[in-house]
Chain A
Amino acid sequence: MPANKPAQWDYEADVVVMGTGGAALVSAILAHDQGAKVIVLEKTHQIGGTTAFSGGVPWIPMNRYMKEAGIEDSRDKALTYIKRLTNGKEPNPELIEVYVDNGHKMIDYLHENTPLRFSIPKSYPEYYGYFPGTSKDGGRSLDPRPFDMNQIGEWGNLVRQNPTFPPLTLEEGGAIGAIDFTVIAERMENNIVTMGRSLVASLMKAILDRGIEVVVETAGKELVLNDAGDVIGLIAEKADGAKVSYGARKGVIIASGGFEWNKELIKTFLKGEITHPLTPFGNEGDGLIMAMEAGAALGNMSEAWWYPAMQDPTFEYEDRVMNQLGGGGRTGPNSIVVNKHGKRFVHEGTTYNDMPKAFYEYDPVNVEFPNEPPVWMIFDQQLKDKTMIITMMPGEDTPEWVNQANSIRELAEQIGVDPDGLEDQVSRWNEGAAKGVDPDFGRATTFFENLTGGGGSATANIGPINTAPFYALPIFFGSLGTSGGPKIDENGQVISLRGKAINGLYAAGNAAMGIMGQTYASAGGTLGPAMTFGYLAGIAAGKAESKDI
């Protein structure tokens, strides 16, 4: 149940924002710029949330940088592309249009009113480059420009480190290989940040310039409602367990991330059980629980931004083995992914959001989930010699955490996979590879598997696994965040179970219903909608009528 109104608020503001990721900071800036007094609460001891962990790339059709670069785009084209991907499964088609119509306005606003600047990453096209409505020349995915963290002084030390991406831009290879480690070293020396940290630090500069108060180690836990059911504040919990009340005359914006670190919520809502999130540990669904208590309707609850996570077990982040992206090996030519039976079960080169959807397939004949992770990436020396895999560099010694053997059978026995199954599978793969085809799953036919090389091809994506030693690495059920939450309207305002907007309650980002359904449009498919609805929620909350609290 929501909390009772305290006799006296510890703190009062017009708008209280939960979270410090992209959606949260944009909403705080916009609410402030409507004239509202804003307080931002961050649960953890670091700011930036999931955004700081990420590439920091928003996917925004028709944005100003495309116009500057002479890249044509249109509302119809963008909607054609999105609707081809959503297959009509989006929770509310109108919100897709709201997103397309307002995303570029959000980018314009931030360009004109904050230090946040983007570039269009060259040679980084859209993930579904063969589909109608795609932007052939890219441009919808925006790459944050490097930002000098010294501009935000001590707050720079609080911006969450990004253990996933090095301080390179997307174009420089931060997410796609070809990394220049000397540039990384220079950036680290000079406190120059890129990707998610650049986005957060740039927005944080705007927050500080406006004098918006940001309070860390303060987690929103319970909403406070008045007799009419309007949200008028929240009760937060400090790191030491102390309760603090925040009155909010105009509204509360929940932008505190998803629930991928809450095992109970995962089990309750998701199709597949995420075991290895690639996000900060604070994402435990606090905002979701608060919204449910306030009577919010929920949407898109069974979805997440899936990811086939991998691990170099020698790296730990906040005292847990760090979940990592894994590098480009999965789509490489001399590599396949198999289940416990030693069988392939998916086109390995599909996008990181699509490929794990095969993890939760059910076999009704054998009454099992055959692809439940860990599944195994099987590859040979040829791939190891030319591709960075997790942290393993080409040409360097094989670390002891990598399973290796001189025969496929021995490798299968080592990792507990059916040896006959794996031997048969590798033979079949190699037969196809000799002809440059994959008759089972169509490798070399999708665009994403050779994204920066013009789309899949036999040369880039099909090759035999026949050169010992052979290697195996586990792939786990990972996620870049969940994408279900309270239903929202075109203003980011939360809808009640009775279908009415809840006065004073807004949600954005992974804390809200994902408007795209199961679709991840391209790089920035998470942050684009998140920042856009943060922008809309900030405007709406900032302009809302003040309530007597």
Chain B
Amino acid sequence: MPNGSHTIELPVSIENIWSFVSDMDKWAPLVPGYIEHQILSERQSTWSFKGDLGFMKKTVKLQIDIKEWIEPTKVTFDLKGLSDNFVGNGYFEAEAIDDSNTKMTGYLDITAKGAMGPMINTILKNFVPQTAKELSEAIANKIVEINKA
């Protein structure tokens, strides 16, 4: 069960954070290795990205199904591989510290299945937390940048 979470405090109100995070098109290009995404419905989207596994890169296609939109604090989702045999889930959570400061947490869990699962999960143990961290930080930086402007 390779997983990872990353929490950041931002000098931005929870409403402003929600406004950015709730619009997938705004933050999609910030996903590490992002290639493309397609929104199929309010709750379903497909994604392609190139994961950096250290000594090699792997292009992966996956589907994300939003389970819950709890405005303005939480989005939870499930994911499954379209190109490869893996499943997972994750969430984004925002917690207001005060009117202009918010604690933001990103969580990601991906598990490879099938015969190669044990081997791939060993690689994912480093990859998943790193991706959760990089994505959370990229989103946080963008939000701060937008709200400064």
Q: How far is the CA of A397 from the CA of B118 in the complex (A)?
A: 18
Residue pair A399, B119 in contact (C-beta under 8 Å): no
A396 CB within 8 Å of chain B = yes
A181 CB within 8 Å of chain B = yes
Segment at the A interface, from B14-22, B54-62, B94-102, B140-148? B54-62
Contact with B118, one of A163, A181, A315, A317 (Cβ below 8 angstroms): A181
Chain A positions 228 through 263: 1 when the CB is less than 8 Å from some CB of chain B, otherwise 0: 000000000000000000000000000000000000
Q: Given known contacts A188-B122, A399-B83, is B115 in contact with A181 (CB within 8 Å)?
A: yes
Q: Given known contacts A161-B55, A315-B57, is B85 in contact with A185 (CB within 8 Å)?
A: no
Among A181, A397, A399, the most chain B Cβ lie within 10 Å of the Cβ of A181
Residue pair A188, B56 in contact (C-beta under 8 Å): no
Q: How far is the CA of A185 from the CA of B117 in the complex (A)?
A: 9
Q: Given known contacts A396-B114, A400-B83, is B56 in contact with A315 (CB within 8 Å)?
A: yes
A322 CB within 8 Å of chain B = yes
Q: Which residues of B contact A184 (CB under 8 A)?
A: 118-119, 122
A182 CB within 8 Å of chain B = yes
Main secondary structure of the interface of B (DSSP, over half): mixed
A314 CB within 8 Å of chain B = yes
Residue pair A181, B50 in contact (C-beta under 8 Å): no
Q: Which residues of B contact A166 (CB under 8 A)?
A: 119
Q: How far is the CA of A233 from the CA of B83 in the complex (A)?
A: 52
Q: How far is the CB of B63 from chain A (nearest CB, A)?
A: 13
Q: How far is the CA of A290 from the CA of B144 in the complex (A)?
A: 55
Chain A positions 382 through 404: 1 when the CB is less than 8 Å from some CB of chain B, otherwise 0: 00000000010100110110000
Residue pair B56, A163 in contact (C-beta under 8 Å): yes
Contact with A185, one of B50, B59, B84, B122 (Cβ below 8 angstroms): B122
Q: Tell me how many residues of A have a C-beta within 8 Å of chain B.
A: 22
Chain A positions 502 through 519: 1 when the CB is less than 8 Å from some CB of chain B, otherwise 0: 000000000000000000
Q: Which residues of A contact B83 (CB under 8 A)?
A: 314, 399-400
Q: How far is the CB of B43 from chain A (nearest CB, A)?
A: 23
Residue pair A181, B57 in contact (C-beta under 8 Å): no
B130 CB within 8 Å of chain A = no
Among B84, B118, B119, B123, the most chain A Cβ lie within 10 Å of the Cβ of B119
Q: How far is the CA of A161 from the CA of B119 in the complex (A)?
A: 15
Residue pair B60, A314 in contact (C-beta under 8 Å): yes
Contact with A393, one of B57, B115, B123 (Cβ below 8 angstroms): B115
Q: Which residues of A contact B119 (CB under 8 A)?
A: 166, 181, 184-185, 188
Among B50, B54, B116, B117, the most chain A Cβ lie within 10 Å of the Cβ of B116
Chain B positions 51-101 with a Cβ under 8 Å from a chain A Cβ? 54-60, 83-85
Chain A positions 157 through 188: 1 when the CB is less than 8 Å from some CB of chain B, otherwise 0: 00001010010000000000000011011001
Q: Which residues of B contact A316 (CB under 8 A)?
A: 50, 56-59
Q: How far is the CA of A317 from the CA of B122 in the complex (A)?
A: 19
Residue pair A317, B56 in contact (C-beta under 8 Å): yes
Contact with B55, one of A163, A393, A396 (Cβ below 8 angstroms): A163
Q: How far is the CB of A403 from chain B (nearest CB, A)?
A: 16
Q: How far is the CB of B93 from chain A (nearest CB, A)?
A: 31
B121 CB within 8 Å of chain A = yes
Q: How far is the CA of A317 from the CA of B53 in the complex (A)?
A: 10
Q: How far is the CA of A399 from the CA of B82 in the complex (A)?
A: 9
Residue pair A314, B55 in contact (C-beta under 8 Å): no
Chain A positions 312-336 with a Cβ under 8 Å from a chain B Cβ? 313-317, 319, 322
Q: How far is the CA of A166 from the CA of B121 in the complex (A)?
A: 14
A189 CB within 8 Å of chain B = yes
Q: How far is the CA of A24 from the CA of B109 in the complex (A)?
A: 44
Q: How far is the CB of B105 from chain A (nearest CB, A)?
A: 28
Chain A positions 193-243 with a Cβ under 8 Å from a chain B Cβ? none
Residue pair A396, B117 in contact (C-beta under 8 Å): no
Q: Which residues of A contact B59 (CB under 8 A)?
A: 313-316
Q: Which residues of A contact B54 (CB under 8 A)?
A: 161
Contact with B114, one of A315, A322, A393, A400 (Cβ below 8 angstroms): A393
Q: How far is the CB of A419 from chain B (nearest CB, A)?
A: 29
Q: Which residues of A contact B56 (CB under 8 A)?
A: 161, 163, 315-317, 322
Q: How far is the CA of A316 from the CA of B122 in the complex (A)?
A: 19
Q: Which residues of A contact B58 (CB under 8 A)?
A: 314-316
Closest to B52 in A: A316
Closest to A163 in B: B56
Chain A positions 68-84 with a Cβ under 8 Å from a chain B Cβ? none
Q: Given known contacts A393-B115, A396-B114, A400-B83, is B57 in contact with A185 (CB within 8 Å)?
A: no
Closest to A391 in B: B116
Chain B positions 107 through 145: 1 when the CB is less than 8 Å from some CB of chain A, otherwise 0: 000000011111101110000000000000000000000
Closest to A322 in B: B56
Q: How far is the CA of A163 from the CA of B58 in the complex (A)?
A: 12
Residue pair B116, A181 in contact (C-beta under 8 Å): yes
Residue pair B57, A189 in contact (C-beta under 8 Å): no
Q: How far is the CA of A281 from the CA of B107 in the complex (A)?
A: 37
Known: A185-B119, A397-B85. 17 other contacts (CB 8 A): A161-B54, A181-B118, A185-B118, A185-B121, A188-B119, A315-B56, A316-B58, A317-B55, A317-B57, A319-B57, A322-B56, A391-B116, A393-B115, A396-B114, A399-B83, A399-B84, A400-B83
Between-chain CB contacts (< 8 Å), 11 pairs: A161-B54, A161-B56, A166-B119, A181-B119, A184-B122, A314-B60, A314-B83, A315-B57, A315-B59, A316-B57, A317-B55
Which A residues are within 8 Å of any B CB, using their own CB? Answer: 161, 163, 166, 181-182, 184-185, 188-189, 313-317, 319, 322, 391, 393, 396-397, 399-400
- By Cβ-Cβ distance, the 9 closest A-B pairs, closest first, are A161-B55, A185-B118, A316-B57, A314-B59, A181-B119, A185-B122, A184-B119, A188-B122, A181-B118
